[in-house]
Amino acid sequence: MNQFGNLQPYLCVIIPVRKILPVIMLLMMLAACRKEPFFEGKTTLKLAADTVWFDTVFTRQTGSTYPISVTQITWIKNPESQAVKASFRLGGGTNSAYRINVDGIPGPLIKEVEIPAKDSVFVFVQCSLEANGQSGPALVLDSLMIQVNGGEQKMFLGAYGWDAHYFRAASLPCGSFWDDKTKPYVIVDNALVPAGCTFTIKEGVQVYCSARSTLYVAGKLLVEGTPGSRVLFTGDKPVSPARTLPNQWVGLYFTVGSAGNSIKNADIQNAAIGIRVDSLPVGSPDNLVLENTRVQYCGQACLAGITAHIRATNCLFAQTGSYSFLGLLGGKYDFRHCTFASYVNYTTRQDGHFALTNTLRDGNGKILDTKPLECNTYNSVIYGDLQEELLIDKGGSAAFITDFSGNLMKSKSKPFATSNTYNRDPLFKNINSGDFAPDTLSPLHNAGILLSPPITTDLNGKPRIGLPDIGAFERPE
């Protein structure tokens, strides 16, 4: 019996292995190149959603392609066990306000896209809306039509188009103001309040800023919101998911020499640095006075002062990537009934978010400069998700004067002992939704000290009666 035993009758030819492998590879390649038959019956593709919704999008500036919406991504799945060929078209055709792209192929008409069995294609949708001449947002609809084997399905496309006032790389005229409550103001590529000029933003105004845009203030800015009609500063994508995202624009920047600025009843959000104030003013005025203002969802800092003079009352500085407040290279700061809080998952900060230093240091910690610092903080909350939320740096020969009383703070070092409370959870009502009012059992309730003159209302205009609550908000009854 030979080495193949009883197998020999079944072997016609013995082929060496080195000759078999190329034959097998060729057969595999031919099999891979053979097209599977397409499904030809009636079918219903599975849509990720019946509507692609953009919420609110600013209409186009005359003579410009700005702005274009964010890109929405959806998918369409073939449920069959064979591939199908699908065609896509916009209901509005070439005149549609919408743009589509299916797996890298742009529309408005895309023919015979192969969707493998049990597989999907991705659809990318944008919109660019024309001005509508209305005082408020106007609904703009279209449809994505999907055809397979003579059958047709529809995916709706929807957005509200909102006309706006646009300011591109603008120097704002002295003595001018914004007061339109129905149409927002959009800053594209920065705006400037020139030195020696006063610019006013009236109650109820909404200001949206494009990416990398800053409102520079070399003169004086007056923001005159009211409790019932606040002023808004934010990025230029007014959609729900974007409202809590940082770094959508740069922020408000008060430059060297700017003084007498006032911001009342405003919401400043989604910036890199919400408010930056540079250098003490000449003479007695403050650089900036803040009242009843929220600064939230900032990538680097909510409020940053560099040798600045800032007073803030009933203000919220919250949800920051690094600092709720940074007082750098000295300055004069006065905080009364303010809430400084940070609980975010978009950063891995290592230091406390409330920072005070009378120095300027290089990367190795060497002191480059030092200036006097004075910080008075009363009836305020400084809390977050680190064990140490105070960052105090005293250095050089410059003065470092502080008066902290009636505060609740999170700190292992407990540097300000007199009449302060440490490391008790403030029990904010709902940090996930940005509600930093005290909850029912909060230790902030009736725990503040009496101030002179008293602060008679909270950030929302609610009366403070008797012993006030610590922080920017009185507890809801």
In a domain, 272, yes or no: yes
Neighbours of 241 (CB within 10 A): 9
Residues 85 and 192 in one domain: no
Domain containing 236: what range?
Answer: 164-438
Q: What is the pLDDT of residue 281?
A: 65
Strand partners, 350: none
Beta bridge partners of 87: 147
Domain harbouring 153, CATH code:
2.60.40.10
CATH number, domain containing residue 395: 2.160.20
| Residue 35 in domain | no
User: Is residue 24 a part of any domain in this protein?
Assistant: no
β pairing state of 367-370 and 390-393: unpaired
pLDDT at residue 62 in the model: 73
Q: What is the mean pLDDT of each run of 10 residues along the chain (477 residues)?
A: 39 45 54 69 96 91 81 96 97 96 95 96 95 92 97 96 94 97 94 98 97 96 97 84 86 95 97 93 78 97 96 97 96 97 86 96 92 96 96 93 97 90 97 94 96 96 95 92
Compute the distance between CA of residue 17 and CA of residue 12 in angstroms, rounded to an integer. 15
Q: Which pLDDT score, from 0 to 100, does residue 6 have?
A: 42
- Decide which of 134, 161, 188 is a domain's last residue: 161
- Give the per-residue pLDDT at 10: 35
Q: Would you say residue 142 lies in a domain? A: yes
277 and 168 in one domain? yes
Take residue 72 and report the two structure tokens written for it: 């929405």
Judge whether 295 and 288 are in contact, CB under 8 Å.
no
Q: Give every CB contact of residue 406 below 8 A, 6+ residues apart in sequence.
A: 378, 379, 380, 419, 420, 447, 448, 449, 470
Residues 173 and 284 in one domain: yes
pLDDT reported for residue 8: 39
Same domain, 152 and 173: no
Residue 66 belongs to some domain of the structure: yes
Whether omega before 67 lies within 30 degrees of 0, making that bond cis, reads: yes
In 292-389, beta strands by DSSP E: 294-298, 301-313, 316-320, 323-336, 339-342, 354-357, 359-361, 367-370, 373-378, 381-384
> Is residue 124 within 8 Å of 73, Cβ to Cβ?
yes
- Residue 138 shares a structural domain with residue 201: no
The two three-digit tokens of residue 416, written as one number:
């300000």
Residues 202 and 304 in one domain: yes
pLDDT score recorded for residue 423 = 97
Q: Give the span between the Cα atoms of 2 and 86, in whole angstroms.
A: 60
> Considering only CA atoms, which of 376, 293, 300, 296 is closest in space to residue 331?
376
Are 115 and 94 contained in the same domain? Answer: yes
- CB atoms closer than 10 angstroms to residue 58: 27
pLDDT at 167: 95
Any idea how long the chain is? 477
Residue 23 resides in a domain: no
Please tell me whether residues 156 and 174 are part of one structural domain: no
* Tokens at 137, concatenated: 């947002």
Residue at which a domain ends, from 145, 161, 177: 161
The residue out of 161, 194, 229 marking a domain boundary is 161
Q: Quick one: 157 and 285 in the same domain?
A: no
Residues paired with 126 in a beta bridge: 99
**Residues 220 and 136 both lie in one domain:** no
Residue pointed to by tokens 């790389």: 169
Contacts 24+ apart (CB under 8 A), 24-30: none
Q: How does DSSP classify residue 181? A: S
Q: With left for phi above 0 and alpha for psi between -120 and 50, is residue 68 left, alpha or beta?
A: beta
CB atoms within 10 A of CB 356: 24
Q: Establish if 476 belongs to a structural domain.
A: no
Helices and strands (DSSP H and E) totals, the chain:
1, 39
Q: How many domains are contained in the chain? A: 2
Cα separation of 198 and 317, whole Å? 26
For residues 295-322, one letter each, b for 16 or more C-beta atoms within 10 angstroms of the residue's C-beta and e for the rest, the string is: bbbbbbbbbbbbbbbbbbbbbbbbbbbb
Q: Report the Cα 372 to chain-centroid distance in Å.
A: 34
The kind and range of the H/E element at 24 are helix 17-33
- 34 Cβ neighbours under 8 A, 6+ residues apart: none
Tell me if residue 433 falls in helix, strand or coil: helix
Neighbouring residues of 1: CB distance < 8 A, sequence distance ≥ 6: none
**Domain co-membership, 281 together with 402:** yes
The closest alpha carbon to 215, from 202, 225, 201, 229, belongs to 201
Q: For residue 7, what pLDDT is reported?
A: 36
What is the per-residue burial (b if ≥16 Cβ within 10 Å, else e) of 332-341?
A: bbbbbbbbbb
Q: Please choose, from the candidates 161, 167, 127, the residue with its C-alpha nearest in 3D space to the C-alpha of residue 144.
A: 127
Asked whether residue 289 is assigned to any structural domain, the reply reads yes
- pLDDT of res. 286: 86
Residues 410, 289: one domain? Answer: yes
Contact 316, 295 (CB under 8 A): yes
